[in-house]
Each structure stands twice: as structure tokens, then as C-alpha cells.
Amino acid sequence: MSQTKLSVNINKFATLRNARGANNPNLIQVAQDCERFGAQGITIHPRPDERHIRYEDAYELAKIVTTEFNIEGNPQKGRFLEIVKEIKPTQVTLVPDSDGVLTSNAGWDTIKHQDYLKEIITDLKNLGIRVSIFIDPIDQFIEAAATTGADRIEFYTESYANNFKENPKKAIQKYVQCAEFAHKLGLGINAGHDLDLDNLNYLAKHLPYLQEVSIGHALVCDALYLGLENTIGLYKRALKV
């Protein structure tokens, strides 16, 4: 199987930019440099409060991203659905974030929201957009994800990351079982949230059919010490299995 792709989530560069109200770091330059340094995709997660990525950023980035452009967010909130339908990025990742959350903290209940997801996913796929849905490793939600028409699922990997140090094999077990099940149902597999240089190589080695990881917070923190080019190289190396 081909190597898992690295999509760099640049939210936290926007956090730093917004802290002073000007345009440093310049998000366009950051995205272009991430791609030049080896990123195989750029991910953004515009939230309704625009705490980091602003809706305008999405339009400007769409003009320059040459790898894969992945826009994550809750289709029920803010201008998310409007902008992704206009931009038509490579991929949209649907995330069921509630207002005011510190960060994404749950996957979809694809049974409860089955009809809604089917409708949204059909519309987005009709626009030529690949659709992924953020999900926990729970069998019945994986099964229902397949009937929504989603192209891929994105495993919410906070639980893996939290349990990795204590017992890697146990931390990944449910994800492996769900990945096998999802593959049998014809779903592609992405993963993201709290992945870092400690836990990424083990995930890449043991999670079957993993096509893409989107990584932001830890990567940006590492880049503050190690430099962005070096850090992207280290994350790409961790994905070589």
C-alpha cells in the first residue's frame, strides 16, 4: 500500500497571526512553504468564531494550495457549507463540533444524523468534493458511515494518543479492528487529532489502509523548536513504514 500522506493543519499559525492583528505569520507563505518542505496536503478548520482560520483565509488559500486542500468543520455552523460549496476543495471533513469547544472532541453519531449526513454528503460529492467524516472507532458508527455515502472516515485519534504511552497495542486495537471493517465497507481511512512525533510512527505501522493523517497542533509546537522544514521532514519520516 502507498505511504500515508501528511496533511499539515495550519490553524495554529493563524492563531499566532491573529494575536497581533496584522499578517505575521503570513498564512499564504506558510502554506506554500509547508508544501515546498514536503507536506502532501494543507488542512484548515475554520470555526464559526474564526478564532484562528478566518473564512477569508479559505478563499485565499484555495488560490495557492497545489497539493490537497482539506477543509474541516461542522456543516451546521456558520458559513462552513457556503464556503466549501464555493471553494470546492479536494476534500471536506465533516466534524460535529459544538459551539465554544476548546477543540474537536467527538466524532459523528452517524446513526442519529444519518439522513442529514446523507443529504450534505450527496450535495458535496455532486460538486466533485471528496467527503470524509470525523468518527470514533465504534463499529455501528462505521457501518452507518458507509451508508451516508462518505468517501472516507477520519478516525478521531485523541483516545489513541492519550493511551499510547501506557500501552500502544491496547491504544490502537479498536482502531485496527474498525479500519479492517471500514475497508470491507469500501470506506477510505484518514486519521487525526493529537498525533505527534511520539505516537505517529506506531500508528502508521499498525493501522491498515491509512491514506492520510492531518496534523496541526503538535507539529506547529515542534516547529517552534526544530524549524518548520525540519519538522515536516521528521513527520514524513515517521510515516515511512
Ligand X SMILES: NCC(=O)COP(=O)(O)O
Question: Which entry of 45, 154, 158, 212 is annotated as an active-site residue?
Answer: 45
Nearest C-alpha neighbor of 186 from the set 220, 207, 209, 214: 209
User: Which residues within the stretch 78-107 sit at the binding site for ligand DXP (CB under 6 A)?
Assistant: 95, 103-104
* Kind plus residue range of the DSSP H or E element containing 42: strand 41-44
When asked if residue 214 is in the footprint of ligand X (CB under 6 A), the reply is: yes
* Residue 73 labeled ligand binder: no
When asked if residue 216 is in the footprint of ligand X (CB under 6 A), the reply is: yes
Question: Which entry of 35, 68, 154, 193 is annotated as an active-site residue?
Answer: 193
Q: Is 113 a catalytic residue?
A: no
Distance, CA of 129 to CA of 90 (rounded, Å): 6
Q: Is 45 a catalytic residue?
A: yes
Strands 130-135 and 152-156: parallel
Q: Based on CB atoms, which residue is closest to ligand X, 92 or 117? A: 92
- In degrees rounded to 5, what are phi and psi of residue 58? -60, -45
Binding partner of 215, given ligand DXP, ligand X, none, CB within 5-8 angstroms per partner class = ligand X
* Residue 231 labeled ligand binder: no
Which residue has the CB atom at the shortest distance from ligand X?
192
Q: Which range binds ligand X by CB under 6 A, 13-21, 31-39, 197-205, 210-218?
A: 210-218
Q: Based on CB atoms, which residue is closest to ligand DXP, 4 or 9? A: 9
- Long-range residue pairs from 200-204, CB within 8 A, at least 24 positions apart, any chain: 200/235, 200/238, 200/239, 201/238, 201/239, 201/241, 202/164, 202/168, 202/172, 203/157, 203/160, 203/172, 203/175, 204/4, 204/238, 204/239, 204/240, 204/241
Q: Is 206 a catalytic residue?
A: no
Q: Give binding residues for 1-deoxy-D-xylulose 5-phosphate as ranges.
A: 47, 52, 103
Name the residues that contact ligand X, by CB under 6 A: 9, 43, 72, 154, 192-195, 214-218
